[in-house]
Amino acid sequence: MRTWLPPLLLAVLLIGLSAAMPALEPFFRWVQPDKQSVIYDRESFLFLLQNHLVLVLISATIGTIAAVAGGIFATRPSGRDFLPLVSQIASIGQTFPPVAVLALAVPVLGFGEAPILVALILYGLLPILRNTLAGLEGINAAVREAARGMGMSPMQVLFQVELPLAGRVILAGIRTSVTINIATAAIGSTIGARTLGDPVISGLVNGNTAYVLQGAILIGLLALTTDSLFEALERTWDRRFSPQVVA
């Protein structure tokens, strides 16, 4: 229970702060005394938080499936020749700035959530793929041989031995990818996606520091909450699967 307490407390704080932001008007009035409006009110912060989370969750799910599948394929005997190509493709996605991806995607997909989803998926592939490759390649060959000696099929070796042992490293890659994309998703507000970047963009356009702070605080708190959640997941994974290393 102690493992899950920090992310739980951070999540409560995040939701509570999102709901109670208008109550902090005196503080933001002190920060920006020359503006008539100091609390962003075009959309509720809870609504923006929900949309932000959905974008990150969808992109993380698609990116994780693609990257883990690519990593598994590239570490199988039939796919080892494609290992450099798989790594290069993921690296290309990482080297493209999200803004450039948006500029290319908007004419094709239009404004809204679709272009930022494409950018987040491409931007989040590399950390997951690299960690998948590192986790699978780092497994002692003797462990695989022992599993085969017990009569396990290649699929059983993969799902019952390799993935559980590599899971901690793969989770670390997903953790990095998701944390980065929480911040990256904010730029979706520049093309009509509703995210926690809305008050930040609005504040920059209108010279309203209070708006910028409100968005930045919630984005930062969301990143901390997510990072803490993955830390708890990694610890739980260690406790559940580490004893199976010997087996």
In order of 65, 161, 234, 246, the CA distances from 239 in angstroms are: 24, 15, 9, 14
Which residue is associated with the tokens 């004893």? Answer: 243
Distance, in Å, from the CA atom of 147 to the CA atom of 156, rounded to the nearest integer, reads 9
* pLDDT given for residue 231 in this prediction: 93
pTM of the entire predicted model: 0.90
Q: What are the residue ranges in the chain where pLDDT is below 70? A: 1, 90, 93-94, 96, 242-247
Distance, in Å, from the CA atom of 98 to the CA atom of 103, rounded to the nearest integer, reads 9
Q: Are 185 and 53 in contact (CB under 8 A)?
A: no
* pLDDT given for residue 246 in this prediction: 39
Which residue is associated with the tokens 């990072």? Answer: 227
Segments making up each domain of the chain, as ranges: 2-245
Which pairs count as long-range contacts for 202-205, CB under 8 Å and 24+ apart, including other chains? Answer: 202/40, 202/42, 203/40
* pLDDT given for residue 5 in this prediction: 92
- At position 114, the amino acid (one-letter code) is A
Q: Name the region of 192 (left: φ>0; alpha: ψ -120 to 50; beta: rest).
A: left
* pLDDT given for residue 123 in this prediction: 84
Scored b (16 or more CB within 10 A) or e, 5-42 reads: ebbeebbeebeebbeebeebeeebeebbeebeebbbee
Kindly state the tokens that stand for 208: 């309203």
- Please provide the CATH number assigned to the domain covering 2-245: 1.10.3720.10
- Residues belonging to the chain: 247
DSSP state, 193?
A: -
